Every structure is written in structure tokens, then in C-alpha cells.
Structure 1
């Protein structure tokens, strides 16, 4: 994309060619990684494939990190994009913890092969520090996996105080990515959406579908002793002990 040298311009213009080009070379590829220590150990990504842009396209790269505590997801995308702004480099924290964490690195640039971030170090260094957590009382399912897997492999954990149960299907499409992930965990109150209703990042579209968490806490079940109380006409006590609270875990 540099300026054409005068001697080449004169020579090639006489031959009927235009040596100047609006194309740009970008790295291109995608990556999905699931693991247990991805918020502490960086993931390297060396992408050798390249692509030539056309028109108004410039280079972009996106890294997404989601961590539920037991498992973390790293998603990466590189390629051309038509952005509304040029030369943007930012990191957005959608959920800082305690409990669920979600953070995105987004970079667009207009220099040859400029989308060359080769690890997730920038995400790890940008994870906010939080105060020591205080154990709450309510158990919530904890899981991060491809859609349909969570129901079979979900574990319960006591969430930190100030959080509540969260469960969703997160669909991502574009930039070489097409996947749906099931996510369950503890999301800080009063935040409702893990991705804060974000619908897209660069060429990747996001669709977050909230699901109703099913708590296995005994306090949310009608145990036989409570049923017996109902039979004796103490309806008010029965309802009081069986209503599922929507307040944050304390």
C-alpha cells in the first residue's frame, strides 16, 4: 500500500498498466480452544494462511475468552473486514467476575499483514482483578461446552456472594466461525446477559439466548416434610418455602 516509485509509474503507465493497487494482504484463519487453564496460560496461534482484500476491506483479528471457573473457551478469527472505523485496537470486558468472565480483543488495521497477534497474552493481561470472594449459599450448575453436552456433564458449585445462576446458548457465526456453546455459571448481579446484548464484533455475529437455570438446591424443592405440612393446611408456610427466589446469591 506504499507509494509507487516514479520510474515504475512512468514505465507501466506507458504500457497501459496501473501499478498502484488498493488490495491488502491479511492473515486469515479461525481457532477454537477449550481448556481448564486458559485464563492463566496463554494460547499460541501462528496463522500462515493469507488472503488479498478487495475494495474497502482492511484486516481484522478477534480473540474471545469466556471462563466459567472449571472450563474456559478461546475463540479466534483473522481475515478481511469492512469496518465503520479504521485502525482500532481495543479490549472489552463483558463480565469481570467473580464467577463468569468474558473478554474480547478486537483489532482492525490497514497495513500489510498487520493482524498478526500470535497469542492470547493480551487477554490474560487484561483480565480485571477482583476482591476476594465470599462464599454464598446457593448451588448453580457450572459448564461450558458445545451445545447439548452441558446436560450430561454439568457439576454444581456454590457461587460467590453477589452472583446468581446464569444459563444460555451462545451462537457465533462469521469470520470462519460457526458454533453454538452452552454456558452455565455464576454471573455477577444485576448483570443479566453475559455479553451485555452485544450482537456482533467485527464480522462475527453473536446471539445470546438465555435459558432458565434449574437449581438442584434442596431449598428449591418440595421435600416430603414440606408436602406433609401442606396437607395439614399450612398453605402460607408451604408457599413461602417453595418459591424460587430471583434475588442474588448471598
Structure 2
């Protein structure tokens, strides 16, 4: 392979000697098939890697009586080269686990495994025993009255656990029920890493472990109600039994400046069929709007930008200036008294708003100070709302007695706190997000 071009301009190409990049096969898939369908074959997509990256492929087969679960990932990696390796993590009969791993750099598309042949051997005849166990591979809960299988002779235990895969573009919980020769939660035989994937198992929860993206975001800048900003995170968390994933955005725009605070993580269940966008206070005057989504599939709180909120907001026509002048300000965790600017309010407003929105939950604990123009029909920005997605909120404005915050239903999480001396615009994230993956099977 020739050195990679560094720059091409006006027909002239400059080369950086010795620097090469690889093209690799790419994709991920998770499927369940009958053992009678083995061996399986596939084709994959392609991707260009970064400098010094190699090609990787990780294939995992879990056989469970008449069924087999296949987990496969291909792509680029910074890991060092590794010859093709087949590992038997647990031998059959009954539940068995075998893997194939490889990292290479000697040519383009060297991660070219295209079938399960290196891992597969025809099953040997087994003598049936007297134990019957449920038969299940599922990314959700196993059915209460699902199919059963007759275990091999000498087997004494029915396995019931959740195997979690993270890495190489895979993020999955696989519920497994099948036959084991001894009790215990040790299907993986102590294995914690298979190629590009971290693997763990848990036999305690009654239902599959929920995994959610986790993090908080704060932005303070002009125009956040018009131009979307990135909303990605880099951490995940396992939820407590019965919890779901959530993502919440709260936007406050006073005109010359706006504030956006967001949260992703686990939450107690909420009744919600689709994401909800709500305009608490709108034009003319201070805009307050929110987005909230509660969902129950793995890493489903995966919005990538604030467009999930902005795309649902109306675009008000420009208002003619009125005669009222008001101080305008929006602050995270501070006071507006020394930082307010005065503006001429638009027609349709007749008084100045000054108040605080106390916000707690989803890793956020802060007071949002707001000043701006308000129409005659409104005195409150939140209209007595006490919950906005994961956030518990309480509005305290001039002329209103401060009420205590309602209890927060969020799971414990690190708090997003004021950082002294932050300039504008401000951006602050902590948390986790996983890129989407694509099946390599048609």
C-alpha cells in the first residue's frame, strides 16, 4: 500500500513518507439461529481507519441446546496485533461458549472472517437426563411459559442470568436460560474480555439489566433556541431493577442570551409513549421550553443534539419594539443583580420578570436566575409546573412565596455544580454515549 496522501491541492499531491492507513471490514450483528443452520456466513461493510489503527474482528457463539446466539463485531482498533485465536470458554453439552478474535495490520481488509466454520463442529450425541430447563436467548425478559429442553444426563442445574456485552460497537444485554452441570453464576468461567468486548454476567435481577447513557450538560450562549448544539456523552450506567432510561432538556432564552441544561441517565418509570416537548412560556418575552423522553430499551436515551427540542419550537415573527425597558439575564447558580443588561421589550409585553427556577434531579442541583420581558397575561414562567422530565422544579419570582421542592425521583448521581469564573459561551459535559451500529447481515 502506498503512503497515504496528506494534502491534494490544484492537482498536486504531497505524501508523508511511512504513514499508512488501513481499510477494514466493518459492522456488528447479534442474531439467534437454530444449531441446524450452522455454519453461518455473512458479508460486511467497509471503513477507513485512523493512522496506526489495525483491523479487528470478534466472534462469539453461545450454544444452548437447539439454539445458538451469535455476536459479531468488525472494525478498526488501536490494540496490538493478535493472530487468529479460537477459545473455548465453556464446553458443552448444554450451554457452551466459543470465541474467535483477531487483530491485524498486514493488509487492507485483513479481518476477513466470513463464516462460523473455525468455531463450529457438528454436535456430538448426548444421553438425555431427567432435568428439564427453560430454553431462552432474549434481549428482553424470557417468557414465563416459554419452551423447555431436556438436559444432558448428569446435569443438575438450570441457568438463569444476563450476559452483558460492551465494546466494538456492541452494547447489549442477553438473557440466557439453559442447562448447566453445576449451580452458580459462572457461565463465562471468569472471562471478562473477549476481543474488543467487555463481558459480564448477572444472575440476581428478575429482569434484564437496563443500561442507559449517562451525563449532564450545560450551555450558556446566544441563539441556543435557534441553532442546535451537540448533546453527546461518554459514560453509561446500569440501572436499578425496574428503572428506565431518561433524557431531559430545559431551555431558557431571554433574548440576547440563553441557557440549556440537560440530563441523561436512569429514572423511575414514567408513563410516556413518545418524547414530549412543552413550551412553558413563549413569545413575546422570555422563552422557556423543555424536552423529555423516558424509554425502556438499552441505551435508548441517545439524542445527539438539542434539535430534538428545537425542531418542535415555533419560529415567531420578529416583533416591533415597544416602550418598556427591562433588565435581561439568565444565570446558572448565580444572581442577576450585577450582570443584567437592559433592552427595549417587544410589543405585547408590559412588565419585567425577575425570579429563580430551583432545579434538582438527574445529576443537576442548581438555581437558575432569570430576568426579562413578560406579557400582561403571564406572571410565571413555569405555570406552576413542578416536574420537567427528570427535573424537580420550583419557581420563585417577585410577589410569590417560595415553596419547598418536591422530592426528586432521580437515581443518585454526581451533581452538575457551578464552576466559578466560567466565561461565555459555557459548555460542560460528563457522561456516556455509544455510536449507532449497523448489522453486517442483509
TM-score, normalised via structure 2 length: 0.45
Q: Distance in 1 between matches of 2:248 and 2:361?
A: 11
DSSP 3-state at the match of 1:37? coil
DSSP 3-state at the match of 2:326? strand
Gap change, CA 1:147 and 1:86, over 3 Å in 2? closer
Which consecutive residues of structure 2, in runs of 5 or more, have no partner in the other structure? 1-138, 150-175, 186-202, 400-442
The correspondence for 1:169, drawn from 347, 353, 356, is: 356
Gap change, CA 1:52 and 1:148, over 3 Å in 2? closer
Q: Distance in 2 between matches of 1:133 and 1:177?
A: 34
Report whether the alignment pairs 1:120 with 2:288: no
| Bigger helix share | 1
Runs of 4+ in structure 1 deviating by more than 4 angstroms, as ranges, are 3-8, 16-20
DSSP 3-state at the match of 2:228? coil
DSSP 3-state at the match of 1:166? strand
Greater relative contact order (Cα < 8 A, sep 6+): 1
Q: Is the 8 A contact 2:248 2:390 kept in 1?
A: no
The match for 1:33 is 219
DSSP 3-state at the match of 2:337? helix
Q: Distance in 2 between matches of 1:139 and 1:158?
A: 5
Displacement after TM superposition at 1:86 (Å): 4.6
Q: Distance in 1 between matches of 2:364 and 2:181?
A: 42
Q: List aligned pairs for 1:98-113, cutoff 5 A.
A: 98-113=284-299
CA radius of gyration, larger in: 2
Gap change, CA 1:124 and 1:203, over 3 Å in 2? closer
Report whether the alignment pairs 1:9 with 2:177: yes
Q: Is the 8 A contact 1:95 1:102 kept in 2?
A: yes
Displacement after TM superposition at 1:40 (Å): 2.2
TM-score, normalised via structure 1 length: 0.77
| Bigger strand share | 2
Q: Distance in 1 between matches of 2:386 and 2:394?
A: 6
The match for 1:247 is none
Which consecutive residues of structure 1, in runs of 5 or more, have no partner in the other structure? 213-250
Computed over aligned residues only, the root mean square deviation of the Cα atoms, in angstroms, reads 2.3
The match for 1:216 is none
Q: Distance in 2 between matches of 1:159 and 1:47?
A: 37
